[in-house]
Amino acid sequence: MKNLLCLFAFILTLPLFAQEKPNIVIMMVDNLGWGELGCYGGGELRGAPTPQLDKLAEEGILLQNFNVEPQCTPTRSAFMTGRRPIRSGTTKVVWGMLYGMVNWEITMAELMSDAGYSTGMFGKWHIGDVQGRFPTDQGFDEWYGVANTTDESEYSSQFQYESEASTQPMIVEATKGEYPKDVKPYNVKSRRTIDSELNERAIEFMKQSAESNKPFFAFIPYTQPHLPTLPHPDFDGKTGNGHYADVLAEIDFRAGQILNTIDELNIKDNTVVIWMSDNGPEYFYPWHGTAGPWKGNYFTAWEGSLRAPCLMRWPGKIPAGSVSNEIVHVVDLLPTLGKIAGYDVPNDRIVDGVNQLDFLTGKQKKSNREGFIVYNNDDIYGYKWRNWKMHLVELENMNSEPRPLNVPRVYNLITDPKEEYNMAEEATWVLPVMFKKIVTFQQTLAEEPPIQLGTPDPYKPQR
């Protein structure tokens, strides 16, 4: 009888084991446009098939209307906090001054850690490069990568570079609470190999975490295809279609390495995978990319800047082969992953993200978001709502001068994906709809005053 009771007790615990927290793996590439991957209409048309990522799309959901911020720092801040960058003082890419997230901000990594996850980051941070603002100060157990942007890899080989006057960008490593240690210079040579190193570190982290039976959060923000778009030596010339195509092939291969590791560890069914880009495509020749049917490049408010590729897989939860044109914003990832990982969204501050889990898992057809205000730097550039886009500032590309518009321009993204034909006179009715939403958002900034760029730590909100 005693043995039967023990067996019965064991059977009762089986559902608990089946419901253990899933691992979460997020791969973020740097400035890959909507139109580059095969599953988004690119692939071979862009000089390189992307079979690994195309397969990932088939195994989960492909978001056709996933939206980010116009620049690197704002998107990464929005991703980490679930808050629009205007709130966090992280609205722009800057040089030579204090920037990044103050310690008062609560990051996804901190929430994951509090929920019992091992947390590792392998790649580009770009939301703080001083003590107290590194990844290992804000929730990550370990980090290997670069603090800022890949532009810096070009410094030491540029015209009349002076090491005494400038800084030598470094690839670093750190553990939680530790000041990062220099590993080697980040230059054009190491720029070619860094993404392979990120994968090596990430794979080792995943293996160690799996062996310990502890759920893990692996964040892998790659440096490719940010300029200079130079492939790993193993991929140089591989496609015969130039460096950009070679890098596209490498990007697909790197994703495949992570996905294959998940398979080898037998954790596929209990691992959420998200693959995404932080911004629209590069603008500068010869590193320029494409946003497919959408107009524009990063640093603008055009659709090609805001709409980026995003794939998600969670076997048995997210229906395989799903495709949606519903609006999702990068801030939505923090509350959505909270429902999966078991952490609560902070309630002592305004969080702009909305929980999209029921939408992603097919329990509802519609997203919980209809639109969002469009900021570029600290300025309101317009509003995106359903299939409508209103522009308040004209900025053709990142080298142009912004010009405030006396009369807003309105585009319909279904009939006019290139945003060429102003419909303001034909659809005047949408103007008050979107202006009301802008006013509502601005009221929240009065309720909780934004943190200003350059604010030092410690920070306490002014309320």
One DSSP character per residue, 101-118 reads --TTS--HHHHHHHTT-E
Cα 291 to chain centroid, rounded? 16
The CA distances from residue 10 to 5, 19, 214, in Å, are 9, 15, 21
Helix (H, G, I), strand (E, B) or coil at 186: coil
CATH 3.40.720.10-classified regions of the chain: 21-369
pLDDT in tens, 438-460: 999 999 999 999 999 999 999 99
- Domain 372-447, architecture per CATH: 2-Layer Sandwich (3.30)
Q: Report domain 21-369's class.
A: alpha beta
Cα 352 to chain centroid, rounded? 16
CATH 3.30.1120.10-classified regions of the chain: 372-447
The number of beta carbons lying within 10 Å of the beta carbon of residue 400 is: 11
Q: What percent of the chain has pLDDT over 90?
A: 94
pLDDT in tens, 296-347: 999 999 999 999 999 999 999 999 999 999 999 999 999 999 999 999 999 9
Q: CA 39 to CA 356: how far, in whole Å?
A: 22
pTM recorded for the entire structure: 0.95
pLDDT confidence tier of residue 172, bands split at 50, 70 and 90: very high
pLDDT in tens, 35-64: 999 999 999 999 999 999 999 999 999 999
- Amino acid letter, 321: G
